[in-house]
Amino acid sequence: MTGTRRRVLLGALGLAGLGGVAAFRAVAASRGLAIRTRAGLAFGTTVALTGAGPDPTAIEAALTDGFAAMRSVETAASLFRADSALARLNRDGGLTAPDPHLVALLRFALTLAAETGGAFDPTVQPLWPLWSGAAARGERPDAERLRTTLTRIGWRRVRLESDRILLEPGTALTLNALIQGYAADHVMAALRAHGIADAFVDTGEFGALGAHPDGTPWRLGLADPRDPATLADVIAPFTGFAATSGDYNMRFSDDRADHHIFDPATGHSPGGLSSVTVTAPTGLLADGLSTACMVLGRERGARLVAAHPGCAVRFTDKA
């Protein structure tokens, strides 16, 4: 989804307290480290990768491979690309010899759907054009059209086989609730393969490895969902991966009652929470759990996260 950034990074990109970029690099150099940051566009948003180490050439090669990893994930499963494997699956209703990234994402999505009793469901895609079209007219969807659309939703309408994926007629998938966290995993793996020990990955969700080049732990600032320019919390130290789902990044109503996260059972947005941030050992898990928690609510969401070792959750209520 496009929109304002949901979190504020305090670390590789937070240079003001160090006197600017030149002073920041000087601090790194005093520790025998070079630092490189590369930014671009992916998944419909801005992304940035930062690495530090003794060899600038190795860092540049790692960042190149990190961006290549993101592009391969986009090719498989981005709905921002009309030629992606997922876009073709949605158009044709089936796909043979599917991209391994698409298979991995969909297998995780269906597993999480089963675990959450369908609170997480990759087949909610038909709700997106329904709600966005109504919002463009200053309306909410007609109740009958909403009921009809709901008949096309349900994770059991997807068949994932060894060499093909099949969708029941009218079904369409979105993996937007997983793809950025999954990409963070693969980017971090690419950096590690080049021997990068200190890195910060922003694919729309976040990952951190090692420490900040000035020797301090990485920190991740979390935006206030009602004032995204203000920090509501800081995760410090931050290592591993984090993902945030919220009602403020893409919304269909000014009061944020209607937004891009849907309850598959009702076709409406869940009403209890404003945002959820999950930290986890993988970006894929953090991303999926944060969306599931938005639908499940605070109590059931907390139980879901507690069932996954190494995970933690922060909730912000609507109030």
Looking at the DSSP assignment, which residues form a beta bridge with residue 51?
36, 199
Q: Which two tokens stand for residue 242?
A: 């984090």
Tokens 């910060």 map to which residue? Answer: 200
Closest CA to 11 of 227, 193, 237: 237
First to last CA, the chain: 24
Q: Does 214 belong to an annotated binding site?
A: no
| Distance between CA atoms of residues 98 and 106, nearest Å | 11
Classified as helix, coil or strand, 195 is coil
Q: How far is CA 319 from CA 8, 255, 295, in A?
A: 22, 12, 16
Contact assessment for residue 31 and residue 214, using Cβ atoms and an 8 Å cutoff: yes
Contact assessment for residue 309 and residue 298, using Cβ atoms and an 8 Å cutoff: no
| Distance between CA atoms of residues 149 and 24, nearest Å | 52
Closest CA to 183 of 47, 305, 290, 289: 47
Q: Which two tokens stand for residue 55?
A: 């060899």
Q: Does 96 belong to an annotated binding site?
A: no
Half-sphere exposure of 202 (CA within 13 A, CB side): 24
Tokens 């990234």 map to which residue? Answer: 101
Q: Does 280 belong to an annotated binding site?
A: no
Binding-site members are: 177, 287, 291
Binding-site members for Mg(2+) are: 177, 287, 291
